[in-house]
Amino acid sequence: MNTSESLADLVAAEDVLLFANAAITATGQREFRSGAASQQLSLDFLHTYVRVNYRRVYAASLALDINDHNAARIVLGLLETVGEADAEERRAEGRLIAARLARLPPQRVYRLFGEVRRAGVNNRRTRAIVRDWLAARPDLGHDAVKYRSGVRTAARHIHLRPAEGAGAVAEVGAFLFRPGKLPRYEHPLLDAWRRAHYEQGAVAELPFSVAEGFAARHGMRREAFLKRAAPRMTRLERLRTLEQRAGGAQRPDVDLTVMPLTRLALYVLALPFEQRTTRRAELTGALRTAARRAAGGHAASWGRVHAVLDDSFSSSGSGQKRRRPLAVALACHFLLEALAAPGAYRALWTSGRNDALLVRPWGPTPLGTRVLDALEPGPGGAVPDRLMIVSDGWDNAPAGLAGEVLRVWRARLDPGRRTAVVHVNPVYDADGFDVRRLAAAVPTAGIRDAEDLPALVEIARFAEGRTGAAELYAYLDRRVAVFLGEGEGHRQDEEAEVA
């Protein structure tokens, strides 16, 4: 650490890391050990504190792997308090906001625009941001049908009127503000929506979420409707509905290998044990394919990796985040297998299970015992190059043993840091305004999706105290530069994508 750095610099760096962990993991929803109200209150405080004291860092957080909930909150906070920024900050914030909105799912952006309107934020810059985002949408007619109220709210907020546009824009405006006035629409989805009011055949031409309402209005049989609507379903819609049709007994007609790793893990954990067993080859193959895709250029580059993975009862999550912590652990298991050198990966679940595909939330959290096992030298006295711990941090069998084991290991047995130890935590601790840590000497990072693990391991090193504030801010500057230079590399909208 640079001794020339002031105490204020170090405190600022700690605040930045604390906010990054919260913005990655917290969504204001109920967790296993805290309710939604306390989560929201804690998150409100952090957003206000960081925005007021570190506005540039607050905006730069949009370039990190934060979740969509907090990205939208940051955008709203920046737009609401534009008077607190100077001209240079406003320019930088505008670029970051535009880049982040391009990566958010459209339904999230339309919801954000509704919050902007309710907050009364209607300055020229905000209207320009909304107008530019709408202009960049690939098919505004599709949005008008699928997100009708959101598009209408956004159009009203920027004072867009049908007469102001031409061609497709004017037609969308007429659809939103004068429905039923035109005898027909040139845009196929707009006209399908018009015909669906009296023609069953037009229902299947609409986006699935819209078509469901019309199908119910016409009294269509569910089985017949799903068969006709299948070609227009997204991958997730097809997976969800076809599993319901099969009653859990048949394999859905969905290519699981193209699903994101963490979402695939959630799907696997929702299956009964019998299905997991009978479909073992298919599910394991899909998870490993997704893990190799997530590892990318880091595959097989981490050397010998041992992992302690939490499948205790608290990994069941909550009603709003059902099995989310366990799904992150399962996804990390397959990702770490792909990141480790061939044959150099070892997984230790807190329950003692050896079959990752059949894990379930059960029992206490003996992290200390599993950490001891993971640090045990292997053949020839070899210790792991990396020890990864995926847990909510509630070590309770016995309490505090994991922290003490890690402290003694670092201070007495491995002062040269041959083994890099990192703890990733998928659960936000509302009372502590951070994710729960195991030991002061062990870097901890919040995690929401296992796909972000390589990047989170990089940022976690700043929490270890061996690097200073200057290095952290330089890292943020690099992330911002990469984020703004990605062009078309933003995440595709899975809700709008028809697979």
User: At 351, which CATH number?
Assistant: 3.40.50
The verdict on 447 and 335 lying in the same domain is yes
Digit-coded pLDDT (tens) for 230-256: 888 887 787 776 555 544 445 556 778
The verdict on 328 and 438 lying in the same domain is yes
Residue 478 domain-assigned (yes or no): no
Domain boundary among 249, 282, 304: 249
The verdict on 298 and 340 lying in the same domain is yes
* Per-residue pLDDT at 246: 45
Angle of CA points 376, 381, 387, to nearest 5°: 45
What are the start-end ranges of the H helices in 432-468?
453-460
The verdict on 213 and 312 lying in the same domain is no
The verdict on 230 and 284 lying in the same domain is no
**Phi, psi of 166, deg, nearest 5:** -140, 150
Residue 256 domain-assigned (yes or no): no
Beta bridge partners of 386: 305, 420
pLDDT over 90 (residue 128): yes
Q: Which domain holds residue 191?
A: 7-249
Distances (CA, A) of 19 to 25, 106, 386: 10, 25, 26
The verdict on 220 and 320 lying in the same domain is no
Residue 337 domain-assigned (yes or no): yes
The verdict on 31 and 145 lying in the same domain is yes
The verdict on 157 and 190 lying in the same domain is yes
How many separate domains does the chain show?
A: 2
The verdict on 217 and 76 lying in the same domain is yes
Closest CA to 472 of 482, 461, 481: 461
Dig out the tokens for 488 from the structure: 């078309």
Residue 477 domain-assigned (yes or no): no
The verdict on 92 and 205 lying in the same domain is yes
Rounded mean pLDDT of the chain? 88
Beta bridge partners of 396: 399
- Of residues 327 and 460, the one with the higher pLDDT is 327
What is the C-alpha separation between 296 and 286, in angstroms, rounded? 16
SS3 377: coil
The verdict on 386 and 422 lying in the same domain is yes
* Per-residue pLDDT at 485: 87
pLDDT over 60 (residue 2): no
What are the start-end ranges of the H helices in 54-201?
55-60, 68-80, 87-103, 106-118, 124-136, 140-146, 148-157, 168-177, 188-195
Residue 484 domain-assigned (yes or no): no
Residue 446 domain-assigned (yes or no): yes
Mean pLDDT of 255-279: 91
- How does strand 428-429 pair with strand 420-425? unpaired
Amino acid at 70: N
Dig out the tokens for 441 from the structure: 């000497």
* Per-residue pLDDT at 161: 62
Cut 0.85: pTM above it: yes
The verdict on 167 and 89 lying in the same domain is yes
- How does strand 444-446 pair with strand 305-309? unpaired
Residue 410 domain-assigned (yes or no): yes
Residue 334 domain-assigned (yes or no): yes
